[in-house]
Structure formats: structure tokens, C-alpha cells
Amino acid sequence: MTGVAMSLEGKTALITGAASGIGRAASLMFAEAGARVLACDLSEGVTETVAAIKDAGGKAEALQMDAGSEADVIAAVTKAAETFGGLDVVFANAGITGGVRDFFDGTPEVWAEVLRVNLIGPFLAIKHGAPEIMKRGGGSIICTASVAGLRFGAGPAQYSASKAGVINVVQTACQSLAGTGVRVNAVCPGLTETGMTGWAFQAARAAGKEHKIGQLNPLRRGGQPEEIASMALFLASDAASYLNGQAICVDGGLSSSHPVAHTTVRDVEDSLKKVRDE
């Protein structure tokens, strides 16, 4: 498998949350890599994603659907298989935050809706996508989790809990699919500029504090949707043929550390100068 390219030539991919952000970036990237894409989203914006793919010479169809509805997921899997002759890749990317930031402001209704979309959605994508992928001899399922699913500090409680669940679903699903050739992995984005987080980026820019975005990770910046989509493309491709049951962080290094007081470049330079002087 040495030198296997991140090609999806001749493959069909179903992507949820495809109207914007990571889902749109992945849809465009998968199509550019040769995939026929069924771009799915609750928002009408998914048609714009498909138009962009077709304008670039790719093949895609749009479907408005609710990623947390079993009937809608079944319909999406069926449409992908019937329209493009099969299914090879599912990217269960759709997600919501619930709009509540304080733990004690959360309600059972908010938690139930977030878990329905963020956790039950990926479960349904795997449950109904895997059998169709098995007909092709195997393939890849990718779920969008989050660094918020690893520990506190990257999202509200209901969102974080749902993403922790996604990581576990990926692990249990890959074991349940042992021997089928279907790989199941998760990508865990850090702070990434999408529709979900755009308000934070916009507020920082308006206040002249853009330089503070992502200041807690070693790269000292936020991520872009394309950077997460690139990992999803890798996981979807045969280049990741031996990766299974993993949750891979794409977060600028944020999750590599416990909270510490970071040194600055000036601190490092001063330390080196002191060593030289001695």
C-alpha cells in the first residue's frame, strides 16, 4: 500500500451537514478527489454546495434531510445507492450545539435534541450506511466528534457529552463491524471557523483581538474547514486502509497538553541567550 493516494475515484460518498463549514469543504474536496457525492443537510444551502461541485466539473446531488431522523437517513442511503450505483463512504458530520452555554441553563429538551442530532445521527449513519458499504466489499465511515468530547473547555456540556458519545460509538461500531471491511473513525476538530463558531471569530475581529483566536494551541490560530476536511478525505481514502476505531484530533495541538502557562517566543530567546552567555 506504499504511496497510496488520497483518491476517491469511482466511489460514492454520502456527507451530512454539507450546506456549510466542514461538510461543504468535505463535499467539494471529496468530489475533487473523484467521488460522486450525495450532499445532505437540513438547510437549503446544500443546493449551493452541489452547484459549486458541478461548476468545478464534479458529480453530486443534493438532499434536504434531518441527520437525526431514521427515516431520513434510510432515504439518504437509498438515494446514494440508487443514484450512483452503490455506497463506499459515509461522513456523518452534521451537528448542533444546542445554544445553551451554562451547564445549569440546560434543559432535558435541549440535551435530547443535541443528542438526537449529534449522537443518534452518527449511530443511524453507521447502522444504515454500513450494510450498503458492505455490498461494495468495504469502505469507510467517518464521524465528526470534537476535542470537546475529550475533556472540558471546548464546548457547552450537552455538546461535549454528545461528542464524547460519538467517540465511543466509533469504537464500538468498528468492533461490531469486524471482518466486514468497513472502517469507522472519528475526526475531532479543535476551534474551527464554521457557522457554529463564526460568532466568536467575528467578535474577536470586531474587537481587534483576532490575534487571540486559538491562542491556547501551539499553532496559535484557529482552524479552517478545509483543514478538517483534509483529514476526513484521508480517512475516507485507501491511504488510511489500516486506520480503524480511532478518534483523530485536528486541533493545532490543543489536546496535547493539560492547562499550563505557555512560554512566549521571547521567553525562549531569553533562555537561549542565557545558555550562550554561560
Q: How many Cβ atoms are within 10 Å of 238's Cβ, its own excluded?
A: 15
Residue 1: predicted pLDDT: 46
**What was the pLDDT predicted at 216?**
75
Task: Tell me, yes or no, if 159 is annotated catalytic.
Answer: yes
Q: What is the dihedral of CA 135, 76, 248, 162, to 10 degrees?
A: -130
Q: Which residue has the cell 489536546?
A: 255
Contact (CB, 8 A) for 17 and 95: yes
Q: Is the pLDDT of residue 49 over 80?
A: yes
pLDDT classification of 272: cutoffs 50, 70, 90? low
Tell me: pLDDT of 150 over 70. Answer: yes
pLDDT in tens, 247-270: 999 988 888 887 666 566 666 677
- Per DSSP bridges, beta strands 59-64 and 36-41 are parallel
Enumerate the β-bridge partners of residue 192: 223
Point out the least confidently predicted range of 122-136, 210-224, 236-250.
210-224
More confidently predicted of 169 and 190: 169
Residue closest to 255 by CA, chosen among 156, 151, 174:
151
**Percent of the chain scoring above 70 in pLDDT:** 85
In this prediction, residue 5 has a pLDDT band, given cuts at 50, 70 and 90, of confident
pLDDT of residue 152: 87
Catalytic residue among 13, 140, 159, 167: 159
The mean pLDDT value for 144-173 works out to 95
* Helices 108-115 and 157-176, axial angle in degrees (round to 10): 40
CATH classification for the domain delimited by 12-277, as one of 3.40.50.720, 3.30.1490.20, 3.40.50.2300, 3.90.76.10? 3.40.50.720
Confidence tier at 219 by pLDDT (50, 70, 90): confident
Lowest-pLDDT choice from 142-156, 180-194, 202-216: 202-216
d(CA 201, CA 38): 30
Residue 2: which pLDDT band, with cuts at 50, 70 and 90?
low
* pLDDT (average), residues 49-75: 98
H-helix segments, 85-156: 108-115, 121-134
Average pLDDT, the chain: 90
